[in-house]
Amino acid sequence: MLYTKNDLNVIKDEIEFIDTAIIPVVDIDMDNLSMNRAEHIEFIQLIIMMLEKQLKGRLLITPLFTVVGEDASQVEVFNNQLKEYGFKNTIVLSFRELSLEGIPVIKINHVPISDMDKDILESMVKDEMTIVLKEIIRIWNS
């Protein structure tokens, strides 16, 4: 499920089934690494789309959580809200190491996607999505 009016309306009644919130955290600092970050954002959106297709009925994928600077503590505030709403699990997807209290973080590898052929890109996204998928299922089963 995504953060849209229709999906949120479903979640309201099905919170016992849709019990996991995914928070994709990306950096949007404007400096000489911005181009890398832009690539990250593009890549994570492709992963999210695939993930949504696979596990639509159990995940809420929140809008991209944009962070400026080192401090990502706002994620914890958001996490608390999600937990209060009724999500049993919250999982952060991120390209950098984040140490957040009580939230599992799945680190996504940087892949230089900009010059990639469409088929290769698709298989890269699929591979990365599979890693994330397995990690989510591991968290569910733990």
Partner 1 sequence: MSSKVTRRQFLNYSLMGVGSFMAAGMILPMGRFALDPLFKDAAAGSDIQTSIKVSEITEEPTKVDFTYNQKDAWYESEVTEFAWVYKDGDKLIALSPVCKHLGCTVTWAGDDGNPDKFFCPCHNGLYTKDGNNVPGTPPRGPLDQYEVGDKDGFVTIGKRFENELVK
Q: What is the DSSP letter of 110?
A: P
Q: In the complex, what is the shortest distance from the CB of residue 88 to partner 1, in angstroms, rounded to a whole number?
A: 13
Residue 7 CB-half CA count within 13 A: 15
List of residues contacting partner 1 (CB under 8 A):
1, 10, 14, 17-18, 53-58, 137
Q: Which residues contact 139 (CB under 8 A, 6 or more apart)?
A: 20, 89, 91, 104
Nearer to partner 1, 54 or 66 (CB): 54
- Minimum CB distance to partner 1 smaller for 33 or for 137: 137
Q: How far is the CB of 10 from partner 1 (least distance, A)?
A: 7
- Identity of the residue, 13 or 31, whose beta carbon is nearer to partner 1 in the bound complex: 13
